[in-house]
Amino acid sequence: MKTCLIVDDSKVIRMVARKILQELEFETIEAADGKIALEACQSKMPEAVLLDWNMPVMSGIEFLREMRALPGGDAPVVVFCTTENDIEHIQEAIEAGANEYIMKPFDSEIIQVKFAQVGLL
């Protein structure tokens, strides 16, 4: 079973994402900000990360840059999932090493399609 780290400061979004990902047969772990997520990655790299942008303490983009610099940090497939939907943000995310990008609102179908595209399903 693959593990997906869900990083979002909204408990509700984490719950919705968890349900969708569990249906796609992922084991899920959750983090409410980038710093907690980074700590999770330091103890064990997940196969996938579903990542919000705006969060307190450490944002998604900061987390992504730091995670990619960790040993083994190039391995996880990172899918942004954020309300930021302008070209500049998308470009910045890709440059920082994101593999895919979901613009909220999302549903299970979009998650499924995007995860399939990056070879997670």
Partner 1 sequence: MKPEDFDFISKLINEQSGLVLTRDKAYLLESRLMPVARKRGLNGLEDLIAGMRARVDKELTQEVMEAMTTNESFFFRDIKPFEIFRENILPHLLQSRADKKSFRIWCAAASSGQEPYSLAIILNEEASKLAGWRTEIVGTDISVDILNKAKAGLYSQFEVQRGLPIQLLLKYFTKQGDMWQANSKIASMVQYKEYNLLDSLLPLGKFDVVFCRNVLIYFDQKNKTKVLEGISTLLPDDGVLFMGGAETVLGISDKFKPVSGQRGVYSLTRNG
Minimal distance in Å, beta carbon 113 to partner 1?
6
Query: Does residue 91 belong to the site contacting partner 1 (CB under 8 A)?
Result: yes
Residue closer to partner 1 by CB (options 25, 109) is: 109
Minimal distance in Å, beta carbon 53 to partner 1?
14
Residue 3 phi/psi, 5° resolution?
-105, 135
Amino acid at 68: R
Minimal distance in Å, beta carbon 71 to partner 1?
27
Round to whole Å and give the CA distance between 70 and 19. Answer: 29
Query: Does residue 109 belong to the site contacting partner 1 (CB under 8 A)?
Result: yes
45 vs 16, 59, 65, 78, CA distance in Å?
22, 19, 15, 12
In the region spanning residues 14 to 73, those forming contacts with partner 1, defined by CB under 8 A, are none
Round to whole Å and give the CA distance between 120 and 118. Answer: 6
* Residues near partner 1 (CB under 8 A), total: 17
Residue located via tokens 């990542």: 51
Determine the interface stretch with partner 1 among 13-21, 42-50, 53-61, 103-111 (rule: CB under 8 A).
Answer: 103-111
**For 99, which DSSP code?**
S
H-only helix segments in 24-77: 34-43, 60-69
Residues that bind partner 1 (CB under 8 A): 85-87, 90-91, 94, 100-103, 106, 109-110, 113-114, 116-117
